[in-house]
């Protein structure tokens, strides 16, 4: 009888441990305070586009929902599990709780590029394991379910804070940085075709140490393929002005998550 009881207890402990691990892997996204999330989302855009843009906030039970409908064709949100999560062959083992980055899209990008962010958030809200989400979205990319933008366009990422994967085509390392930049849709283009200057190992090391790229005026490509972008960093003067403008917002964010 005692042996049976021990076996039952061990089985229960194994079950509880597995359940806890599964809950950790499939945890729901945590929203920021609503006003702070809206401010962070809008910081992705240049000033002249903020007042009339559509803004999305996170609903942990549903995914992204519109907090405000806009009229100028631009859409902005704070990504947690972004499109870079689905690059490369490395396994997406858990939903990270330390990745926030503000990203915006024009109307063409909202119809194409932005769909991945919404689908990922919705699947996570439903409790879909991260490995499965990555598999589903990679399959959708490979089958053409996610179409590239129908025209040339722009995605602004001018926020003074960005934390996400450094080189998602290679691995899952992340970093926090201050690199306001603009991205232009560049489906199926190559760095050679645009004369892109990919960051050197020394520049990557500089970025990892300081949280920003060394000043460079030259664009380069990221996320190569139908959904690729040409990235153009803003200059040091503009970066410093943006940082000063959002000092209060940055202080609030750092109180929530030190990373």
Q: Tell me: the pLDDT tens digits for 133-162?
A: 999 999 999 999 999 999 999 999 999 999
Lowest mean pLDDT segment, chosen from 11-20, 85-94, 116-125, 136-145: 11-20
Q: Read off the pLDDT of residues 58-88 as tens digits, 9 standing for 90 and up.
A: 999 999 999 999 999 999 999 999 999 999 9
Q: Which helix (H) or strand (E) holds 208?
A: helix 201-210
Query: For the residues 2-23, what does the mean pLDDT come to?
Result: 43
According to the model, what pLDDT value does residue 210 have?
A: 76
Task: Calculate Rg over the CA atoms of the chain.
Answer: 20
Bridge partners for 141 per DSSP: none
Cα distances (angstroms) measured from residue 23 to each of 17, 30, 127, 145: 10, 14, 9, 29
Q: pTM for this one? A: 0.86
How far, in Å, CA of 168 to CA of 83, rounded?
10
Beta strands in the chain (DSSP E): 54-59, 63-68, 75-79, 101-105, 154-157, 162-165, 174-177, 181-185, 220-222, 229-233
Domain ranges of the chain: 29-182+234-256
Bridge partners for 55 per DSSP: 68, 76
Query: For the residues 90-114, what does the mean pLDDT come to?
Result: 96
| Contact by Cβ (8 Å): 34, 98 | no
Q: Read off the pLDDT of residues 182-194 as tens digits, 9 standing for 90 and up.
A: 999 999 999 889 8
DSSP state, residue 238: H
Q: Mean pLDDT of all residues in the chain?
A: 88
According to the model, what pLDDT value does residue 26 have?
A: 53
Q: From 165, 178, 192, 164, select the one nearest 234 (Cα to Cα).
A: 178
Strands across the sheet containing 229-233: 154-157, 181-185, 229-233, 220-222
Structure tokens at 44: 């992705």
């Amino acid at each position: 009888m005692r042996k049976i009881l021990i076996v039952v207890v061990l089985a229960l402990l194994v079950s509880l441990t597995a359940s806890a691990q599964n809950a950790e892997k499939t945890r729901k996204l945590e929203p920021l305070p609503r006003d702070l999330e809206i401010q962070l989302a809008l910081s992705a855009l240049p000033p002249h586009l903020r007042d009339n843009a559509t803004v999305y906030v996170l609903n942990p039970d549903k995914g992204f929902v519109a907090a405000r409908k806009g009229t100028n064709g631009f859409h902005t949100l704070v990504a947690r599990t972004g499109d870079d999560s689905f690059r490369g062959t490395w396994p997406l083992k858990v939903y990270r709780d330390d990745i926030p980055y503000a990203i915006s899209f024009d109307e063409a990008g909202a119809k194409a590029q932005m769909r991945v962010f919404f689908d990922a958030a919705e699947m996570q809200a439903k409790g879909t394991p991260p490995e499965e989400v990555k598999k589903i979205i990679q399959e959708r990319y490979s089958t053409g379910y996610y179409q590239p933008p129908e025209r040339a366009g722009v995605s602004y990422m001018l926020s003074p804070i960005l934390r996400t994967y450094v080189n998602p085509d290679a691995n899952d390392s992340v970093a926090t940085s201050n690199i306001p930049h603009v991205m232009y849709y560049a489906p199926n283009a190559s760095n050679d075709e645009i004369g892109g200057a990919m960051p050197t190992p020394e520049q990557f090391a500089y970025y990892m140490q300081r949280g920003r790229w060394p000043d460079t005026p030259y664009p380069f490509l990221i996320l190569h393929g139908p959904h690729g972008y040409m990235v153009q960093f803003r200059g040091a003067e503009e970066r410093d002005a943006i940082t000063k403008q959002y000092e209060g917002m940055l202080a609030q964010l750092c109180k929530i998550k030190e990373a």
